[in-house]
Structure 1
Amino acid sequence: MGRKKGRVKIGPRWSIGVLALWMGLWMRPVLALEAGPLVYDPNRAMNGYTLAGTVGSVTTPPVVVLLDMAGNLVNQWMATGIPAKFLPGGRILARTSLASEEIAFVELDWNGHTVWSLPIFMDHDFEREGNPVGYYAPGADFVANGKTLLMTLEERTVPSISPFPLQDPVLYEFFYDGAWTGFMWRGSDHFEEFGFDDAAKAAIAERGGDYLHMNTVSLVGPNEWYEQGDARFHPENIILCSRHGNFVVIIDRATGAVVWRIGPEFRKDQPEHPIGQLLGPHHAHIIPKGLPGAGHMLIFDNGAPSGYGGFGGYPKYPGRRYSRVVEFDPTTFRVVWEYRADRKSETPFKSMAMGSAQRLPNGNTLITFPNQVSTYPEQGRLVEVTAGGAVVWDLWLQWNQVPVTPYRAYRVPPEWLPAGINPAGYLPWSQTLGP
């Protein structure tokens, strides 16, 4: 197999109109925040720069931005952040703009120049060799010119699943020169391993389309469970998260088989019951070695309508009125930490779609919840909370007074910026964290 190529067809009227609007917006400042963060405690926050990839809309073009803790714009890239990830030295990995006729997955330098690309549609997530989750962890160093594991979508009809075409999640791995490594995994080939009951299978058969909506690809990474002899947690095994199916799986890198799973149901008679029912989950990953909570799984649980097999087929569950971030032991399913805003909060913690959570070296957690469904509809919010649940940084994203929707955000250590660039003067994390 050679390189895979994806194309998105955009009609001329739509393309010209949206591109003209976006060009006009690009002539104005990006993310013109009227005020800084609503909350910022520099003594308890993990001071650094925040990379936020946005999805764009008819009124706001997709853009990837780097912000300091005060919300000031440090840099920006014209790319689609679904997601975007930061590499040491000031490069990012992202997808080209949705307005582009040719979709590609690219590596851009600090000045926005393309230094590497793959002519493939990257869907929702990827990982670059050397780091299992795509964010800072001690010793998890990206490999220069390393391999890239990514997910894409391919249309496929599988009569045993549905008579309608499926948007099938497929994983590929590529060398830096663009050659395929030979690794490929296809969701429909493992349909019977996802735990769907007969009612759920019937609902999927009636829908077809984006039946799984996988949104996360991460590696298990080095961990204590594998060191203790549990082969399910081999560092090269892969974690996938299904938003529509309400499940998370670990697949064996060598065979492709599902070797660990939670969901789709979390009934009292199931071992994963202590976690609680996942509803439209995102960004499931194992916290890397060297960070507080290492070896635990961290998930952004949206609480959104989701799941198959209900009275109307889909969604089975109408959703909750709150989102949460949940951390648990993947061997016992014991919940060790959970965050959701107080029920009486003026800014309740709720996002119907997307979302992420990053464990920071000081034990805090950076949370992205893209749309707020009450006071500020569709407005993106980035929050850093302590292990005790205290909010120490809280930033709303706006674009010239228009709400912006971030897909996922990552806190970046200042030493990852290009040499000589540290406009806010933050101390390197290597100095603030000690030996």
Structure 2
Amino acid sequence: MNLRSFFVACLFLIPAFAAEPAPGLNLFSPNSETTTYLMDNDGNIVQTWESAYRAGLIAYLLDNGNILRAGKINDPYFDGGGAGGIVEEITPEGEVVWSFELTEFVGLLHHDIEVMPNGNILMIAWELISEEEALAAGRTRANLGAGEIWADTIIEVARNGSGGEIVWRWRVWDHLVQDVAERRPNFGNPADNPRRIDVNYLGSGRTDQADWNHSNGIDYNADLDQILVSVRNFSELWVIDHGTTTEEAATGSGGRYGHGGDLLYRWGNPAAYGRGTVDDQILFVQHDAKWIPEGYPGAGNILVFNNGDGRPDGDYSSVDEFTPAMRPDGSYITPITRAFGPRAPVWSYTGSPREAFYASFISGAQRLSNGNTLITDGPAGVFFEVDAEGNEVWRFAYGSNVFRVHRHEAL
């Protein structure tokens, strides 16, 4: 059976509902492959792109017909889940016309990237923090079983010929709080400092795990000049101000919203900053948080794939949409003692029964222009589309791990 026949054979026929699938082409890059596919809703492959690297993990289709794709290099030091290392622009003929590897500091690109309206690219990277640096910042030795920390950083890369240069940077390590060592920096009660990140909070991480935050998704809102990050190990979404200089981004003042690089907003797990317990937790090792674009149903809300691993009421996944507690000027309501709102999503999708839909890692969701939601069950390599009532209107099974699929409706 050839590749095209295989895809068609894997396309499940779905009974007709009132809602129809949104038209367009679906881009996906299987985790274990060097090929990226563009597929129509009938399962026909209309374009492929070849790379020398396996996915690392995401690919995006550009207006010129090329793709911007993260690849996984063989890095002997950083080998955590979602490891990448290189970002390439690849033509349909397989020519690499642009690439970027991180060389400015000891670290590695991972998981996701985001193309900005000006053509620059936001990238997530691990940054190596030594045991000595971690202890000096108030990390306890009991939480340093790995002997070091891979803290996340976000870089903005501008194209410079066939390569790129870092023109802006934000670091987790610049925005810490700790309550165990009064004479060390950043001492304070995390509950009194909700814009800062508790250096001893592990969440779903382990004491012997260097990959501390494990951010797995990034999005950019040009109108607000804000960056949204999905932080898996904290089971939280963070929003930071991009309207800062790199120098301001290392502090807690300045920028468009006056808080420098401190968190503007966080949601999903109040226990991460001492304002709740597991009973208040909403997100569980989530992926693929993004703002719903203008002109789409739910515009301005945030959509996220809530993997659900570790829920107190059982392991099941959901896709959740919520309205962030935002003021008209783009700033966020920060309660004095309570958790950041809202208390619950405005829309959710779960399986029926709910345990029937469970993807413990990777995966994603995309709001479509007709109000439907395209969902990626990443571990199973299954893509499906549901309407606002949760009725399934389209399904495709690829059959191996896929980080996430994206439908391009304008093509």
TM band (smaller chain): 0.7 to 0.9
C-alpha displacement of 1:343: 0.4
Check the 8 A contact 2:203/2:233 in 1, yes or no: no
Structure 2 residue corresponding to 1:328, chosen from 318, 322, 331: 322
Q: Which residue of 1 aligns with 2:190?
A: none
Correspondence 1:269-308 to 2 at 5 A: 277-305=282-310
Structure 1 residue corresponding to 2:404, chosen from 404, 408, 424: 408
The reply to whether residue 95 of structure 1 matches residue 84 of structure 2 is: no
Output the CA distance in 2 between the equivalents of 1:405 and 1:75. 20
The reply to whether residue 185 of structure 1 matches residue 158 of structure 2 is: no
Q: TM (normalized to structure 2)?
A: 0.72
Check the 8 A contact 2:196/2:262 in 1, yes or no: no
C-alpha displacement of 1:170: 1.3
Check the 8 A contact 2:303/2:319 in 1, yes or no: yes
Q: What's the secondary structure of 1:55's corresponding residue?
A: coil
When residues 351 and 62 of structure 1 are mapped into structure 2, their CA distance, relative to the original with a 3 A threshold, is farther
Correspondence 1:211-230 to 2 at 5 A: 211-222=212-223
Structure of greater relative contact order (alpha carbons < 8 Å, 6+ residues apart): 1
Output the CA distance in 1 between the equivalents of 2:348 and 2:285. 17
Correspondence 1:116-195 to 2 at 5 A: 116-120=98-102, 121-130=108-117, 143=118, 146-157=119-130, 158-159=134-135, 160-161=138-139, 162-163=143-144, 164-177=147-160, 178-192=163-177
Output the CA distance in 1 between the equivalents of 2:236 and 2:87. 27
Check the 8 A contact 2:156/2:168 in 1, yes or no: yes
Q: Which residue of 2 aligns with 1:374?
A: none
C-alpha displacement of 1:281: 0.7
When residues 78 and 154 of structure 1 are mapped into structure 2, their CA distance, relative to the original with a 3 A threshold, is farther
Output the CA distance in 1 between the equivalents of 2:279 and 2:206. 30
Check the 8 A contact 2:153/2:170 in 1, yes or no: yes
Q: Which residue of 2 aligns with 1:76?
A: 48
Q: TM (normalized to structure 1)?
A: 0.68
When residues 359 and 271 of structure 1 are mapped into structure 2, their CA distance, relative to the original with a 3 A threshold, is farther
1:131-187 per-position Cα deviation (integer Å, ceiling 9, x unaligned): xxxxxxxxxxxx4xx111111112222222254211121111111114535311112
Q: 2:67 is aligned with what amino acid?
A: I
Q: Which has the higher strand share?
A: 2
Q: What's the secondary structure of 1:406's corresponding residue?
A: coil
Output the CA distance in 1 between the equivalents of 2:362 and 2:170. 23
When residues 204 and 412 of structure 1 are mapped into structure 2, their CA distance, relative to the original with a 3 A threshold, is closer
Check the 8 A contact 2:56/2:110 in 1, yes or no: no
Q: Which residue of 1 aligns with 2:22?
A: 46
When residues 167 and 100 of structure 1 are mapped into structure 2, their CA distance, relative to the original with a 3 A threshold, is closer
Q: Percent identity?
A: 27
Q: 1:215 is aligned with what amino acid?
A: N
Q: 1:170 is aligned with what amino acid?
A: T
Output the CA distance in 2 between the equivalents of 1:149 and 1:198. 24
Check the 8 A contact 1:53/1:407 in 2, yes or no: yes
The reply to whether residue 358 of structure 1 matches residue 340 of structure 2 is: no
Q: 1:188 is aligned with what amino acid?
A: W
Output the CA distance in 1 between the equivalents of 2:5 and 2:158. 35
Q: What's the secondary structure of 1:166's corresponding residue?
A: strand
- Unpaired segments of 5 or more residues in structure 2? 77-83, 103-107, 178-193, 245-259, 326-340
C-alpha displacement of 1:220: 3.0
Check the 8 A contact 2:73/2:86 in 1, yes or no: no
Alignment length (residue pairs): 333
Q: 2:41 is aligned with what amino acid?
A: M
1:269-324 per-position Cα deviation (integer Å, ceiling 9, x unaligned): 9699998521111111211212110111111000113xxxxxxxxxxx67832100
1:214-261 per-position Cα deviation (integer Å, ceiling 9, x unaligned): 011111343xxxxxxxxxxxx211111111111111112222110111
Structure 1 residue corresponding to 2:270, chosen from 251, 265, 270: 265
The reply to whether residue 337 of structure 1 matches residue 353 of structure 2 is: no
